[in-house]
């Protein structure tokens, strides 16, 4: 990015008061006032133009003051998780770049949603695949200014896995559990579930059950070493603890969703696609192109199951995280997941309340969280059913 120099400061130097009659003094003062006003307007004009150019540069595209145009670059964040398979397939199969055309695609891999949202809000990326709770938190903290959810990506694929000696919730008092990151979707789900079991937790690791936000790879190692009693994790990490570390499933999150909110029993939002609102406003064509690639990736996943999907996802995981998954791990992971464009918007008031109960967000109006207009346009063009915002935004 080229750094623009700030506009030159126009400095008015006061001279000595001219001699002469009062009329001459009045004319001189009036002339000076006119010059001062003109100089101020010139400085304001230059500053406004420079601010517009700088904002456009930060958004990755042309002058923000002009008409909306395709971005020069789209910076996309995602995780090296099976729950982010639409991102993995979109990249691996080339759907994103094909539909973005001349817009260059740049990617960044994250471990958990709060970190990805922080990068998006700081302007380091433009769009990201994240869990629903970090998206809600960002929307609430910014009073609706920061992000919009523009599509769903995955449902299901989250479990509380524990040591085999833990038989029920009653055995968890005094135990140490892990989640990927404080305020993340699995962190909120665990804290909300523990609260319903009568346990108190806090963000500092205190309470009846200790919750340590921990990197997923470190969670596997710590569990294998006996330093953790369990963890609420997304796929493939829940499957890795079960198959590689001898954990057992205490809670499968799908059993907590009866379908009354999402319309589909056992389905709940795990991964969604979000975009920075400024980028959405300045580059709607680019966002629509991203969504076209996203829809194609989801449809590919729905049409291709078994070894073909496992191989393609594993190739994406190797590129993102440096290694592929064993066949039994990826097979178990995919069996727990549903890939869908639908963000299941009916679940979000409950997800917000879960975050409030967990102490990681505050009560707020989340109307406007979704903008599914571009997604529904893409779905219509593809001959697919449109999806609902459940009264929480534009569709």
Q: What is the pLDDT of residues 195-214, one digit of tens each?
A: 999 999 988 889 999 999 99
CA distances to 75, 130, 328 from 119, rounded to whole Å, are: 11, 12, 34
Confidence of residue 112 (pLDDT cuts 50, 70, 90): confident
In the chain, domain spans? 1-58, 74-99+123-154+270-348+362-394
φ/ψ (deg, to 5) at 86: -55, -35
Record the pTM.
Answer: 0.81
Residue 13: is its pLDDT beyond 70?
no
Residue 33: is its pLDDT beyond 90?
no
Average pLDDT on 241-258 reads 97
Per-residue pLDDT tens over the stretch 142-180: 999 999 999 999 999 999 999 999 999 999 999 999 999
Residue 1: is its pLDDT beyond 80?
no
Confidence of residue 68 (pLDDT cuts 50, 70, 90): confident
Residue 292: is its pLDDT beyond 70?
yes
Its CATH architecture, for the domain 74-99+123-154+270-348+362-394, is 3-Layer(aba) Sandwich (3.40)
Confidence of residue 70 (pLDDT cuts 50, 70, 90): very high
Residue 139: is its pLDDT beyond 80?
yes
Percent of the chain with pLDDT over 70: 83
Better-predicted residue by pLDDT, 87 or 3: 87
Per-residue pLDDT tens over the stretch 328-353: 999 999 999 999 999 999 999 999 99
Better-predicted residue by pLDDT, 343 or 63: 343
Q: Which of 2-16, 130-144, 335-349, 363-377 has the lowest mean pLDDT?
A: 2-16
Residue 2: is its pLDDT beyond 60?
no
Residue 34: is its pLDDT beyond 60?
no
Q: According to the model, what pLDDT value does residue 67 have?
A: 67
Per-residue pLDDT tens over the stretch 253-289: 999 999 999 998 999 999 999 999 999 999 999 999 9
Q: According to the model, what pLDDT value does residue 218 have?
A: 96
Confidence of residue 129 (pLDDT cuts 50, 70, 90): very high
Average pLDDT on 92-109 reads 97
Q: Which long-range contacts (CB under 8 A, 24 or more apart) does 136-145 make?
A: 136/348, 136/351, 136/352, 136/355, 136/361, 136/366, 136/369, 137/183, 137/355, 137/360, 137/361, 138/274, 139/366, 139/368, 139/369, 140/352, 140/361, 140/362, 140/364, 140/366, 141/361, 144/368, 144/369, 145/277
Per-residue pLDDT tens over the stretch 356-366: 988 888 899 99
Burial environment of residue 129 by CB neighbours within 10 A (0 to 12, 13 to 18, 19 or more):
buried
Better-predicted residue by pLDDT, 44 or 66: 66
Better-predicted residue by pLDDT, 49 or 175: 175
């Amino acid at each position: 990015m080229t750094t623009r120099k700030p506009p030159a400061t126009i400095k008015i130097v006061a001279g000595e008061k001219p001699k002469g009659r009062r009329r001459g003094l009045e004319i001189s003062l009036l002339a000076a006032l006119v010059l001062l006003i003109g100089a101020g307007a010139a400085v304001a004009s230059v500053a406004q133009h420079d601010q517009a150019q700088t904002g456009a540069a930060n958004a990755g595209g042309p002058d923000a003051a002009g008409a909306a145009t395709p971005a020069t670059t789209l910076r996309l964040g995602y995780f090296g998780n099976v729950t982010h398979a639409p991102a993995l397939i979109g990249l691996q199969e080339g759907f994103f770049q094909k539909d973005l055309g001349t817009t260059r695609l740049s990617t960044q891999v994250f471990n958990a949603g709060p970190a990805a949202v922080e990068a998006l809000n700081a302007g380091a990326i433009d769009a990201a695949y994240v869990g629903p709770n970090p998206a809600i938190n960002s929307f609430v903290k910014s009073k609706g200014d920061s992000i919009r959810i523009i599509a769903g990506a995955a449902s299901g694929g989250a479990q509380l896995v524990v040591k085999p000696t833990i038989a029920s919730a009653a055995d968890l008092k005094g135990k140490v559990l892990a989640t990927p990151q404080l305020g993340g979707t699995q962190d909120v789900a665990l804290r909300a579930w523990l609260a319903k079991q009568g346990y108190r937790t806090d963000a500092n690791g205190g309470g009846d059950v200790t919750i340590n936000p921990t990197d997923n790879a470190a969670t596997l190692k710590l569990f294998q070493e006996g330093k953790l009693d369990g963890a609420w994790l997304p796929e493939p990490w829940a499957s890795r603890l079960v198959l590689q570390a001898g954990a057992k499933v205490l809670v499968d999150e799908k059993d907590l969703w009866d379908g009354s909110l999402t319309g589909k029993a056992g389905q709940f939002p795990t991964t969604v696609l979000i975009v920075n609102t400024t980028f959405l406003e300045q580059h709607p064509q680019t966002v629509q192109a991203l969504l076209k690639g996203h829809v194609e990736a989801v449809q590919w996943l729905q049409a291709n199951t078994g070894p073909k999907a496992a191989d393609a996802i594993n190739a994406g995981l190797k590129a993102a995280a440096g290694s592929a998954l064993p066949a039994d791990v990826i097979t178990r992971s995919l069996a727990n997941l549903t890939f869908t464009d639908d963000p299941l918007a009916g679940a979000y008031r409950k997800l917000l309340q879960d975050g409030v109960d967990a102490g990681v967000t505050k009560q707020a109006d989340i109307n406007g969280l979704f903008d599914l207009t571009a997604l529904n346009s893409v779905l219509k063009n593809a001959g697919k059913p449109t999806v609902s915002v459940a009264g929480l935004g534009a569709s």
